[in-house]
Every structure is written in C-alpha cells, then in structure tokens.
Amino acid sequence: MSTTRPCPPPDGQGPGAEGATSAEPPPDRTPSRRLHLVGASGAVPLSRDFTRQALHDWGWLPAVSADHRAAAEDVLLVVSELVTNACLHADGPEELRVSRTGKVLRLEVTDLGSGTPSPRTPHRAGRPGGHGMFIVQRLCLDWGVVRRDGGVGKTVWAELAAPS
C-alpha cells in the first residue's frame, strides 16, 4: 500500500485559472469562501487553485496592471506558506477560508496543532527553510493566531491589502 504525503511543499506550479470563455457564468461576488482540507491530497496546490479562482471571481485576476499581478501573487504565496506550515507543524490543515471586505483580503488556515507560528529570528536569508512566517509578516498588513477553546487547534490568519 502506498502512502501519499497530504501536504507537499509549495512549488509554485499547478493548474491555473486561465482559459476563461464567454460561456462562463457571471463572476461570483460572495465575500467569503471555505475549502475543507481534512485528508486532502496536495493541500498546498489545491489551496492555491481555490484561492486563485476566488481572486478571479472577485476581479483581482486576470491582473490589469503590474501592481494587481503582484498583489495576487502575494496572496497566493501567503496561502502557500500558511498551508505548508499547517502541513509541516500541525498535522495538516483542516480548512482554508478566504474572505474579503472592502480593501482587505483575509486568509485563515485552521488546524489541530498546539504550536504557535512565529517568524524565525534572527532571519537568515541564505538559510534553507523556516522563511514562511517571515514572508507572511513582510507581505501582510497584519497576521495572528486564534486558539480554539480547550487549547487544541488554532486558526492562523493573515490580511493583505487589495490592489489599488
């Protein structure tokens, strides 16, 4: 029996959201989306694709400028880092929630882990691994952790600015 790793490291690859046709339904403007990830194979690329579709539906993609493209890429990178951290340090993610309000996009990854993520300090750019929360801290307006009652599990959230 083969075992698959449920959360491979982010590779920046995966199916894109390109190929839109005029026969598609109108964009979904729902301000919040949830992706159930318990037992999902390939949680990182699955989460990126899910988020990419939300960005497309909300008008962030296709990008109309370099600033819009950079904002969308930042969101996808932060999703990758948060989900990867849940895979590596918290026995896998349970759920990804992507929501938007005004000019802020919020990402939330829920897991059963007891640890508390934090940027590695001092940050060493040449050292492999351990850059996830440093990247999140640098790209986001704010981020934090909300613990579940009872001490088991948490939600790591991050907020990014919408493109101007």
Q: Reduced to 3 states, what is the DSSP secondary structure of residue 25?
A: coil
Ordered strands of the 154-161 beta sheet: 32-36, 93-101, 104-111, 154-161, 142-147
pLDDT digits (tens, 9 = 90+) for 122-163: 556 666 566 788 889 999 999 999 998 877 799 999 999 988
Do 104 and 161 form a contact (C-beta atoms < 8 A)? yes
Do 42 and 50 form a contact (C-beta atoms < 8 A)? no
Is pLDDT of 104 > 90? yes
Mean pLDDT of 33-46: 95
Give the pair of three-digit tokens for residue 110. Answer: 């829920």
Q: Which residues pair with 36 in a beta bridge?
A: 95
Question: How many whole angstroms separate alpha carbon 81 and alpha carbon 75?
Answer: 10
Length of the chain: 164
Q: Reduced to 3 states, what is the DSSP secondary structure of residue 99?
A: strand
Range of lowest pLDDT (88-92, 109-113, 153-157) = 88-92
pLDDT for position 9: 40
Mean pLDDT of 13-39: 62
In 7-164, where do the E strands start and end?
32-36, 93-101, 104-111, 142-147, 154-161
Contacts of 7 (CB under 8 A, 6+ apart): 42, 43, 44, 83, 84, 86, 87, 88, 92, 93
| Average of per-residue pLDDT values in the chain | 81
Is pLDDT of 83 > 70? yes
Nearest to 110 by CA among 136, 90, 130: 90
